[in-house]
Structure formats: structure tokens, C-alpha cells
Amino acid sequence: MRLEEAKKLYANMKECSACLMRKGCSQVVTYDGLLEDTPILLIVGECPGATEDQEGLPFVGDSGQILREALRESKTLFKNNTIISNVLKCRPPKNKFPKDKDIPRLCVSKWLDNEIKLIEPQRMLLLGNVPLQHVAGFTGITKARGQWITVKGIRAMATFHPSYVMRQMNSGDLEARELFFSDVALVAEEVGKLQEALT
């Protein structure tokens, strides 16, 4: 990982006002994890919600707790080997991903693409259709989830977004949760092997 460049990127990201999204949120939400430990896994979600906008960290709201429960249950994915981020770094109005394609295109080219390049993750986990589209270049999360693909030269897996899992759980359907936890476990298994090889 190019540590100093990554630190500078995140510092600059905090000051971003390149699009109108910045006017509607309280702060730019960058990442969660420990850069100094050279993360093996980069998790990419969609965008910050209200709680994330308030606290300045990704995936700390209700749906984020599902992700963090899956990470804890893996007994492998922790802050020292995982970075959590999003396609968009600012909370969109009403938590609705913008229909204006120029906004995510700008955010991805200015921040996410460089984030991936500087962190140099060995594995990626894409949460939902939005990161699947903006990182891997295609959609269809139901068909794509649970399968390894190569994205930007990196072995990656897509799975459901935790907010979808939460909605399904609230309606009494636990299948999405089981699949989500299974996908995270598959990623954790690979990260564990890579981590062992480094020690």
C-alpha cells in the first residue's frame, strides 16, 4: 500500500466540494479501518446514511450493524486487515442514490478509483448493485453474488447490500441474511489464508 499517498488522498477527500452533494450533508465520510496495517480487503458500499453522516464513519447505522456482525462472526475480518468505504463519500438527499450519473462518475474517478489504486487491496467485497456497477462495470447482484470475479486486477466478490438484508429480515425472510453471511465467510476464508502467508 502507498501509505502516505493514501493518507493524503483521504485528507483531500475530507475537503471535497466538487459536486452539489457536499452542500446537502454535514461532512464527507471517508473510510473505517487502519491504514498503517496494510489492509488485505477493501469493502465497498453505496453511500453514507444519516448516522454515517453524523458520525463520519461508513456502516455505523442500522444496516451497518448487520455488516459488522458478519465481520465479527467471521473471526478474521478486523480493522487491521479491512478497510470499509463507499462509492459516494457524501450522504445523498433522503438517502437516495442520485439519478444524475455525473455525480457518481465524478466521485468514482476522483476518489474511489484512486482509493483502490493506493490501498492496493488483494481482495474486494462489493455490497449491492451500486458498487457492482461502479466498480465492476455491470449490474445484476442476485446473479453475481457469491461468485469470485476479477475487478481491476483484484479478486472480488459481490453480495447483497446490508440494507436489503435488513429489509428482508424485517419482512420475516431470513434467506438473504444467510446468503450474506455465507458470502462474507467465503471472503474471510481467503483473507485468512493471505494473512497467514504474510506471517
| Residue whose C-alpha cell is 462518475 | 105
Q: Angle, to 10 degrees, between the axis of helix 162-170 and the axis of helix 175-198? A: 150
pLDDT-derived band of residue 19, with 50, 70 and 90 as boundaries? Answer: very high
| Separation between Cα atoms, residue 34 and residue 154, nearest integer Å | 20
Q: Is the backbone of residue 123 left (phi > 0), alpha (psi -120 to 50) or beta?
A: beta
Tens-place pLDDT, residues 138-169: 999 999 999 999 999 999 999 999 999 999 99
56-90 pLDDT, tens digit each:
999 999 999 999 999 999 999 999 999 999 999 99
Q: Name the CATH code of domain 3-198 (choices 3.40.470.10, 3.90.700.10, 3.40.140.10, 3.90.650.10).
A: 3.40.470.10
Measured CA angle at 175 (ends 186, 84), to 5 deg:
45
pLDDT band at 198 (very low <50, low <70, confident <90, very high): confident
Residue-wise pLDDT for 80-123, tens only, equals: 999 999 999 999 998 899 999 999 999 999 999 999 999 999 99
* CA Rg value for the chain: 16
Counting Cβ atoms within 10 Å, is residue 76 exposed (0-12), middle (13-18) or buried (19+)?
buried
pLDDT at res. 25 = 96
* Prediction pTM value: 0.97
pLDDT band at residue 30 using 50, 70 and 90 as cut-offs: very high
Residue 199 reports pLDDT greater than 80: no
Per-domain residue ranges for the chain? 3-198
